[in-house]
Chain A
Amino acid sequence: RTMADALSDAGDLSGGEGSQDDVMTPAELIARLEEAWLNEKFSPELLESKSELVECVMEQLTHMEENLQRVRKGDLKASVHHMEIGRIRYVLSSYLRSRLQKIEKFFPHVLEKEKSRADGDPSFLSPEEFAFAKEYLANTEVYLKAVALRHMPPNLQSIDMLKAIPEPCLDSFVFLRVKERQEKILVEPETDEQREYVVDLEEGSQHLMRYRTIAPLVANGAVQLI
Chain B
Amino acid sequence: MDPSEVEFLAEKETVKVIPNFSLDKIYLIGGDLGPFNPGLPVDVPVWLALNLKQRQKCRIVPPEWMDADKLEEIREQERKEDAFSPVPSCHYMELTKLLLNHAADDIPRADEIRTLVKDIWDTRIAKLRLSADRFVGQQEAHARLDNLTLMEINTTRDFLLDSLNSMHKLRANLQPGKSQDY
Closest to B145 in A: A206
Interface residues on B, range: 35 or more
Q: Are A76 and B171 in contact (CB under 8 A)?
A: no
Determine the distance from Cα of A4 to Cα of B27 in the docked complex, in whole angstroms.
8
Q: How far is the CB of A51 from chain B (nearest CB, A)?
A: 19
Q: Are A187 and B141 in contact (CB under 8 A)?
A: yes
The listed residue with most A CB atoms (<10 A of its CB), out of B21, B33, B165, is B165
Q: For window 197-217 of chain A, which residues contact chain B by CB distance below 8 Å?
A: 199, 205-210
Of the residues B135, B157, B182, contact of A175 by C-beta under 8 Å:
B157
Q: Are A10 and B29 in contact (CB under 8 A)?
A: yes
Q: Are B150 and A226 in contact (CB under 8 A)?
A: yes
Interface residues on A, range: 35 or more
Q: How far is the CB of A170 from chain B (nearest CB, A)?
A: 10
Q: Are A81 and B26 in contact (CB under 8 A)?
A: yes
Evaluate whether A205 and B146 lie within 8 angstroms (CB atoms) in the complex, with A4-B24, A76-B23, A189-B141 already known: yes
Q: Are A166 and B171 in contact (CB under 8 A)?
A: no
Q: Are A77 and B141 in contact (CB under 8 A)?
A: no
* Cβ-based interface call for B40 (8 A): no
Q: Which residues of B contact A (CB under 8 A)?
A: 1, 5, 8-9, 21, 23-31, 33, 47-48, 51, 57, 135, 139-146, 148, 150, 153, 157, 160-161, 164-165, 168, 171-172, 175, 181-182
